[in-house]
Chains A and B, each alone.
Chain A
Amino acid sequence: MNVKNNSKNSKNPKNPKKSFSEKTQSPLKEAWSVFIRNKSAIAGLFILGAIILLTLYGQLFYGEDPFEIKWLPFTSPGTEPGFLLGTDYLGRDLLAGLIKGGGPTLAVGFSAATLTTLIGMSMGAFAGFFGGKIDAFLVKITEFFQVLPALLFAMVLIAVFSPKVITIVLAIGMVSWPATARLTRTEFLRIRELEYVTAARSIGMNNFRIMFSVILPNALPPLIVSATLSVGIAILFESGLSFLGLGDPNVMSWGLMIGSNRNYILEAWWPVAVPGVFIFLTVLSVSLIGDGLTDAFNPKLRER
């Protein structure tokens, strides 16, 4: 109840009823205190942390080569000492693949999401801030990229520019920014009309400073949420591409493991099922964190 009162107070400073225990906090601190009380968001943080630790430090303790043929194919999990999760259709160690494959999956996911956010944020910021012809033009470009079916276009990009990790990051970034751009544009359109922006203008700040040091910080909350969610989208995207066999064939990834074993699922389900569970858990954890951030940043939603 404290939090709810508090958020109402900070919105409406004339309201004399302040809670005793807390003074009005900065919005960021307040959001954080809501976030850490959100059980599912904390669970998400823990799952994601565990997966990152597994992929980072797993290699120190279990540095087997995931591409090397080690044992008989289709060894069931737990039946052969030394192969905890069994082997795939070639006799490659599944656990080694899981550990080695997590790094690239996560790295592509996070860097593609960063790229998505950077492109989307700058397009949306310029469109929303300047309005008029610039806005119309940038909205047209955004629409254009929304019309292109993302996966198809990414497939073409990769087919044209060889399946390297960097190409895949660029491809995902290029096809997934429009949603972020639309969100940023709406926020900028809203905020640029507020009084403190007029105040900033009246003290002679230039456009660039107003955009990035006045408007952007106030537009950040929804953008942080969308950036978090785009990590999940990028991971799903990357694993889809690798599943189709359009990922980098020399880099192990969870999607690649599923894709290369999919023709043998009736002989062995585990090489397909297990990496999928890890993709699922990663995306789930990221979206739990995203949901937690949404609740934390948006006091109106907290009651739901």
Chain B
Amino acid sequence: MNILRRVFSGLLLIIGVIALNFFLLQLAPGDTAEAIAGSMGGASEELLAEIRQTYGLDKPVLSQLFIYLGDVITFDLGTSYFYNQPVSSLIAQRIGPTILLVLSAIFLSLCIGVPLGVMAAEKPSGGLSYSVTLLALVGYATPVFWSGLMFVIFFASVIPIFPVQGFEDISLRKASFFVRSLDVLHHLILPAITLAIIYLAQYSRMARASMIETLSSDYIRTARAKGLSELTVVYKHGLRNAVLPIITLAGLQFGNLLSGAILVETVFNWPGLGRLIFDAILARDYPTILGVLIISSVMVIVANMLSDMGYRLADPRILKQG
């Protein structure tokens, strides 16, 4: 039942997101109908009236909101003023690359960051510990778009082994699926690493701190006293508890990760949601802006739920408490 309640409160949050941004966009200066007409070329009074009718702009704001909410339930996010396409299909084209980028970044940062932090925790004042602390500081303070650009400079002119722009090689359009996937992976490497660095730094630092705390607790001393090998103590008994705060952190930070993805997409010309909303903002394409915001909020909510479930899996005590 808990999951149902969470889904319900997630839905409420989404409705809130829609309402807030809907009213916010109403405050934008300029007449939407004129903006649409402007992108079409001319604007006679009749044309404006017609546009207002097609897009439902002649109705009161509140009923516009309710009509929009009703449409969203059927996955209809309206029509883009700028691309003249349904927003839902625009998003469908762009969401894949963004999810691919974000998930690869999480995967990389967890798979490298956590073991790094755990190894560092075994010697809290050793060289590795020092490097992890340093890495965390540097990773935190580096602007993600800047490190991306530095990678572009380095891999475009010094060692050109990774492509620095785009999602795939157009000349490979007709190649087999396998070759094309490899090509996308090749393009993915730099953007994913750029985005992963920040979180790798944070996770390794957090893993170190939480592991040091865990390893000093009584049950670990018991495990050692039982004569278990150091490997079992650290990785079986220690890691499970030490990883809990990282799961929570990863879930909470999903929104930040999406924000970082927008910047990284801009640097590497990655055709994802970030590029879409950026172009939409420049073109004052409000249906698209609203659509991307809704989808991103849904993604954050889903990520929070998943991290909650992950936490429950790693810590069965919570299940028992209900």
Contacts from A to B (Cβ < 8 Å): 143-144, 146-153, 155-157, 159-162, 232, 236, 239-240, 243-244, 246, 255, 258, 262, 265-266, 269, 272-273, 276, 279-281, 283-284, 287-288, 291, 304
Nearest neighbor of A232 in chain B, beta-carbon distance: B141
Give bound CA distance, A281 to B25, whole Å: 37
- In this assembly, does B16 line the interface, its C-beta being within 8 Å of a C-beta of chain A? yes
Evaluate contact between A149 and B300: CB separation under 8 angstroms. Answer: yes
Contacts A143-B13, A146-B252, A147-B13 hold; do A262 and B263 have CB atoms under 8 A apart? no
* Contact between chains at B256 and A159 (CB < 8 Å): no
Q: Is B146 an interface residue (CB 8 A)?
A: yes
B26 CB to closest chain A CB, in angstroms? 9
* Residues in A whose Cβ lies below 8 Å from that of B145: 240, 243, 258
Please state if B284 and A159 are interface contacts (CB–CB under 8 Å).
yes
Q: A144-B16, A269-B153, A280-B142 are in contact. Are A152 and B259 (CB under 8 A)?
A: yes
Give the contacting residue for B292; candidates A152, A160, A232, A243; CB below 8 A.
Answer: A152
> Which A residues lie within 8 Å of B140 (CB)?
232, 283, 287
**Cβ-Cβ contact count across A and B, 8 Å cutoff:** 129
The answer to whether A266 touches B25, judged by C-beta atoms less than 8 angstroms apart, is: no
B189 interfacial by beta-carbon distance below 8 Å: no
CA distance A137 to B55 in the complex (A): 35
- Measured CB to CB, the residues of B under 8 A from A are 13, 16-17, 21, 24-25, 27-29, 124, 137-138, 140-146, 149-150, 152-153, 156-157, 209, 212, 252, 255-256, 258-260, 262-263, 266-267, 277-278, 281, 284, 289, 292-293, 296-297, 300-301, 304
Task: Please tell me if the beta carbons of B153 and A150 are within 8 angstroms of each other in the complex.
Answer: no
Residue of A nearest to B278 (CB): A244
- Chain A residues with Cβ under 8 A from B25's Cβ? 156, 160
User: Which of B21, B27, B143 interacts with A279 by CB under 8 Å?
Assistant: B143
How far, in Å, is B283 (CB) from chain A's closest CB? Answer: 10
Chain B's nearest CB lies how many Å from the CB of A143? 7
CA distance A239 to B301 in the complex (A): 27
Residue B263 contacts which of A151, A159, A281 (CB distance < 8 angstroms)?
A151
Q: Please, which residues of chain B bring their CB within 8 A of the CB of A288?
A: 137
The answer to whether A240 touches B263 (Cβ under 8 A) is yes
B293 touches A148 (CB 8 A): yes
Q: In the assembly, what is the distance between CA of A152 and CA of B274, in Å?
A: 8
A161 to B26, CA, bound (A): 11
Q: For the complex, give the distance between the alpha carbons of A149 and B257 in Å.
A: 9
- The 16 sampled A-B contact pairs (Cβ below 8 Å) are A144-B16, A149-B259, A149-B296, A149-B300, A156-B25, A240-B259, A243-B266, A244-B266, A258-B149, A262-B267, A272-B146, A272-B149, A276-B143, A280-B142, A284-B141, A304-B209
Q: How far is the CA of A146 from the CA of B300 in the complex (A)?
A: 9
Report yes or no: A150 in contact with B292, Cβ–Cβ below 8 A. no
With both beta carbons as reference points, the residue of chain B lying nearest to A229 in the complex is identified as B140
Report the Cα distance A98→B55, complex, angstroms. Answer: 47
User: How many angstroms from the CA of A236 to the CA of B13 in the assembled complex?
Assistant: 27
* Chain A residues, Cβ within 8 Å of B152: 265
Q: Which of B141, B292, B293, B304 has the most CB of A within 10 A?
A: B141
Residues on the A chain within 8 Å of B17, using CB: 144, 147-148
A147 lies within 8 A of B301 (CB): yes
Q: Are B259 and A151 in contact (CB under 8 A)?
A: yes
* A-side contacts of B27, CB under 8 Å: 160-161
What's the least CB distance linking B190 to chain A, in Å? Answer: 14
Return the contact of B141 from the options A147, A161, A287 (Cβ within 8 A): A287
A258 to B150, CA, bound (A): 11
The answer to whether B146 and A279 touch across the interface, beta carbons within 8 angstroms, is yes
A101 to chain B: closest CB distance in Å? 14
Q: How far is the CB of A182 from chain B (nearest CB, A)?
A: 9
